[in-house]
Amino acid sequence: MDAYEVVKQVKKALGDKRMCKYGLSFEEREGKIAVVGKVDTIESLKKIKKVAHNFDNVYVKVHALEKDVPDSHRWAIVISPTSDVKVEANFRARNVHQLIFGEVVKVLNFWGDYTLAKDSRTDFVGWMRTSTLVFSNEVSLKKWRSSGTYVVIDKRFSKSNLNGSDLHLPFGVKVPANEKGRFWISTLPNGHVLRLKKSDASPCNSKRLDDMFNVWKEFLGTPYLWGGTSSYGYDCSGYVGRLYDYIGMRISRDSDLQSETTVSIKESELEFGDFVFFPGHVAMYIGKGSIVHANLFYNCVSISQLLEPTNSYEKSLRERVTKFGRLIEDDL
């Protein structure tokens, strides 16, 4: 086997670089091929070794970044309303994703004021401000996750309190909490206490598609934000992804990945909650021929008439449809 074939199979095993951080070289030495470099997680390293195991002339000298992280910092929880995920450890770097309060990441590395992390929900990897995170070992994280009933914020924003400081938390924030009077109380692994109004949140396990039908309108007019996944600002895939996360259905981060993980349906089969895909864009079908989407044309979340266009923008959308898709819960 030549080096080209090894490169091909290793990259296929690791998958999309948005969800796997690695830097590898492939060196031919005395009839053998060495895979050398670094990869994000132990799980990714196992994938490389599995490929190498299939061939006699391939060996692996790859280090998993997560092995260098102290046990006390292996995991982190977002403790700010939002935390941007960037391509580089620089505040001027491009945002590729965003997490909200309570979401969990696997920690991979540190550089200056930034932490390289892997999102537990979407698997996206990028650099986050360290100041927006609280760190934990695996035991403490599991204890926190099982410390109460998981509740989710139903409102566009909820004025909450974390250890004495007010926070305006966005829709979709999920935390394990216990009832205390008029509040949900969640105690983070570092001992900080979140106080959330009971009227602003409800148990996650009660959510269904009908609940998404009741909330999507709340975000009409929300600004378009590249990489945004919160009611402070959405991009197209961030908007539909957050709505589906609200009802407990996991979905990929970007529109191309969402297209790959949905089944194709016919236009005549469209129902509320189905996906409409375009080149580099996604919208959600809301019935009566209409879609809702975070778009740059209006620079916000808005409704467009797709099946019977009323203006040139809607006509261009209709012409550029690449797929009608549906997320099947049983396949998740």
Q: Give the active site residues.
A: 236, 281, 293
Packing angle between helix 42-53 and helix 3-14, nearest 10 degrees?
140
Cα pseudo-dihedral 140, 123, 127, 129, rounded to 10: -40
Contacts of 4 (CB under 8 A, 6+ apart): none
Q: Give the C-alpha separation, 268 to 262, whole Å.
A: 17
For residue 50, the surrounding DSSP H or E stretch is helix 42-53
Q: Give the C-alpha separation, 220 to 197, whole Å.
A: 24
Q: Give the C-alpha separation, 322 to 256, whole Å.
A: 11
Whether the CB-CB separation of 166 and 122 falls below 8 Å is answered with no
Instruction: Name the residue among 132, 77, 76 with its Cα closest to residue 107.
Output: 76
